[in-house]
Amino acid sequence: MTDETRQSGQNGQGVVARPKLTQERVLEWIELTDTYFKNEDICREVGIESYGAREHLRKILRRLEEKGVIRAHGRNTWRRADCSLEAVNWEDADPNATVDLVFPMGLDAYCKLYPQAIVVVAGAKNTGKTAFLLNTVRNNMDHPLGVDLFNSESSPEQLKQRFAPLKVPRPAPFRVFQRSFGFADVIDPDRISVIDYMELPPDGAYKVSEEMTQIFRKLRKGVAIIGLQKPPGRDLAYGAAFSAFRAQFYISLDANKCKIIYVKTPRDSREQADNKQWTFKLENGIEFKNVKESYAPIPEVYR
């Protein structure tokens, strides 16, 4: 007996069955999802078990792809097609309407940011990533857009201790929330969102581009500054090039070293900011001291 012949409830012979697998039934399931899905997701939730039913599902999905209802993303992975379009009134836009932020070590001198910008701060463990992000909150706490900090690893007591050397007024002119996932669901599209940090499973680091795309689509006037973990001695965060997909400004931190990886719009078009490097000393776990530009050659391993 196959899945298609089973009926809901008990029949006269005591056999439990499920509704027949049809294209309409698969479409109903797809319309309830707004993210990527696999054949196995449908099998599990619809109750498909037999080989014949799984093969029938593959044929249904291929037909739906041919009709433009879904799009393939690798083997047995799909997403619902979104054919909506939003016109962009670029002719009336103001190129001078930038979002001016102040970053530690004067890095804002090298990058011009616009609304909807995503800034990535990639750092190996204990190399100053959180210090960079907390200083960014402190430096911009009076910004007219307002600042939100999304904290994923510090307790309230630790956070208070870390902010202490920065002399934050009380009450603090910024908001702090505990959050480690699903940031696009909660960020205010018109504020500056500082994320310390975005957690990603090691086997799913490539999904960082999905997360950042969702954040980008949520933003309007605001900017998102996202902390990511990276391997020591490498420039890019886990997920490699996927982590740079949406970034307008990409900063990399290692032990006592800071490097600009990428600038979408340089503040001075005559100056090349990519690959600029600095050394620094981190005091009290939060203060960047003795900052000096470094002109050392870039080792091949860092490229």
pLDDT the model gives residue 226: 96
pLDDT the model gives residue 249: 97
* Under 8 Å between Cβ of 48 and 26: no
The H-or-E segment that residue 161 falls in is: helix 156-163
**What is the CATH architecture of 91-302?**
3-Layer(aba) Sandwich (3.40)
The pLDDT profile of the chain, 303 residues, written as one tens digit per residue, is 445 444 444 444 544 455 678 999 999 999 888 778 999 999 988 888 888 899 999 999 999 999 999 999 878 899 999 888 889 899 999 999 999 999 999 999 999 999 999 999 999 988 999 999 999 999 999 999 999 999 998 899 999 999 999 999 999 999 999 998 889 999 999 999 999 989 876 557 777 888 899 999 999 999 999 999 999 989 999 888 889 989 999 999 998 999 999 999 999 888 888 999 999 999 999 999 999 998 765 444 433
Strands 277-283 and 257-263: antiparallel
Fold of 3-80: Arc Repressor Mutant, subunit A (1.10.10)
Q: In residues, how long is the chain?
A: 303
**Domain ranges (residues) in the chain:** 3-80, 91-302
Can you read off the two tokens belonging to residue 232?
């020591």
pLDDT the model gives residue 6: 47
Strand spans (E) along the chain: 37-38, 70-72, 77-80, 118-123, 147-151, 175-178, 192-196, 223-229, 249-254, 257-263, 277-283, 287-294
The H-or-E segment that residue 217 falls in is: helix 208-218
Q: Which of 144, 67, 58, 133 is nearest to 100 (CA)?
A: 144
Cα-Cα-Cα-Cα dihedral of 43, 48, 51, 56, to 10°? -80
pLDDT the model gives residue 301: 42
Q: Render the burial of 109-123: b for 16+ CB within 10 Å, e for the rest.
A: ebbbbbbbbbbbbbb
